[in-house]
Amino acid sequence: MVSMDALLHFAGLNPNHLLLGNPLADWAYALGLGLSTFVVLLFMRRQIALRTRALIAHELPPGMRLALVLIRRTKLFPLLAVSLGAGSKYLDMPLRAEKATTAIIIIMIGAQLGLWASAAVRFYLEEHSAHSADRRSQTMVTIVRIVANVAIWSLVVLLALDNLGVEVKALLAGLGIGGIAVALAVQNVLGDLLASVSIALDKPFEVGDTLVLESGYTGAVEAIGIKSTRLRSTSGEQIVISNAELAKARIRNYGRILERRLVFRFQLAYGTPAAALAEVPELVRAAVATRPEARFERAHLLALGPTGFDIEAAYTVPDVDYAGYLAAVQAINIAILTSLEQRGIALSTLPPR
C-alpha cells in the first residue's frame, strides 16, 4: 500500500513542508479523511432516500412519516460540516483558524436544524389540518406556522451571529429599542395581526358564514387573512374589513343559526263567531304542517284589539338557506289565508296596532 509521504514525494512535494503550522502530510491526511467522510455520508444519504422512496405509498405512522420528511429536507451543508470537522481533527490549527472552522461548522449545522424544525412544524400543522373538519382552524394553522418560522430562524440567525463574534446581548438590546419604534410605526398592522390571532382562537365565525355587521355590511366570509377578512356581499362585490375593526364590531352570524323562529300576528274582523275563533289555532297548526321541515309552536287569541281579534302564532324552521326559509314562510302564509277563506273567516280591514 502506497503511503501518503510517497504520494507527496511522487508529486514533487516535501511531506514535512509546513503550511499554516502543519506538515503537508497532515494536510493530505485531513483532506483525504474529509473527502472520504463526505463521500460516505453522501452515499448513505442517497441510499436512505432510495429506500424511503418506496415507503411513501404505504400507510405509515406519523413518526415514520415525519422521519421521511426530515430525510428529504436534509441538505449537503450538514454533510460538509461533519466532513470538515472530521478532517480538521488531523490538523493543529491556529486559534483564529480553529475558531473560524468551528463557527462555519456550527452555522451549517444550525441552518440544517432550522430546516428540520421548520419542516417538523409544517408536518404537524398539516397533520392537524388533515384530521380536523373545522375550517376555522386553517387561519390558526397559518398564524402558528408564520410565528413558528419567525422564531426558528431568529434563533438560527442569533446562533450564527454569536459564532461570528457579534455581541448578541448588545444586539438584542438595540433591537428591543428599535422594536419599540417599529411597533409604534406599524401599530395598525400589529393590531390587525393580534386581532387575527383573537379571531382564530375565539372563532366567532368561519369561512362560509353570512355576517351582518353593525356598520351595515352584509356578506359571506370568503377568507380570513392575517391583516383583513374578505366578505362577498349579496350584491356581488367583495368587502375587505381589517381584523382589528372586525374584532371590535358587533356581528350577527347567520352561519351559526340552528333554526329560524318566526313570531307573527294577524287580526280577524270583529263579528267572527267564537266557534270559528276557537278553530284558528288548529288551522294555523295545519298550515304549518304543510311544510315538513317546519315545527309548530303555538297559536293563541292574544287580545281583543281596537280593530279586531289579535292572533299571535309562532313556528320554527330548521337551518336552511335564506331562500328556503322565505319559501317556507310564503307557503305557510298562503295555507293560512286559504283555510280562512274556506271557513269564511275575514281578516280585519285595518292593520293591528
pLDDT tens digit sequence for 91-104: 666 667 677 777 77
Domain assignment present for residue 136? The answer is: no
Lookup result for grid cell 387575527: 196
> What pLDDT is stored for residue 276 in this prediction?
92
Q: Residues 248, 267: one domain?
A: no
> What pLDDT is stored for residue 215 in this prediction?
80
Q: Residue 26 pairs with which residues in a beta bridge?
A: none
Domain assignment present for residue 62? The answer is: yes
Q: Residues 252, 199: one domain?
A: yes
Out of 208, 241, 256, a domain closes at 256
> What pLDDT is stored for residue 188 in this prediction?
66
Q: What is the CATH number of the domain that holds 235?
A: 2.30.30.60
Q: What is the CATH number of the domain that holds 325?
A: 3.30.70.100
pLDDT in tens, 35-58: 887 788 788 877 777 776 666 555
Q: How many structural domains comprise the chain?
A: 3
> What pLDDT is stored for residue 157 in this prediction?
82
Among 135, 292, 120, smallest CA distance to 220 is for 135
Containing domain of residue 108, as a range?
4-131
Q: Residues 297, 252: one domain?
A: no
Q: What is the mean pLDDT of the chain?
A: 77
Out of 105, 131, 157, a domain closes at 131
Domain assignment present for residue 12? The answer is: yes
Q: Residues 285, 233: one domain?
A: no
Q: Residues 112, 14: one domain?
A: yes
Amino acid at 256: R
Q: Residues 29, 112: one domain?
A: yes
> What pLDDT is stored for residue 10 in this prediction?
44
Q: Residues 203, 110: one domain?
A: no
Q: What is the largest CA-CA distance in the chain?
A: 129
Beta strands in the chain (DSSP E): 18-19, 22-23, 210-213, 218-224, 228-233, 238-242, 251-253, 259-268, 295-304, 309-318
Query: Which parts of the chain sit beneath pLDDT 50?
Result: 1-2, 4, 7-10, 12, 14
Out of 212, 230, 256, a domain closes at 256
pTM: 0.47
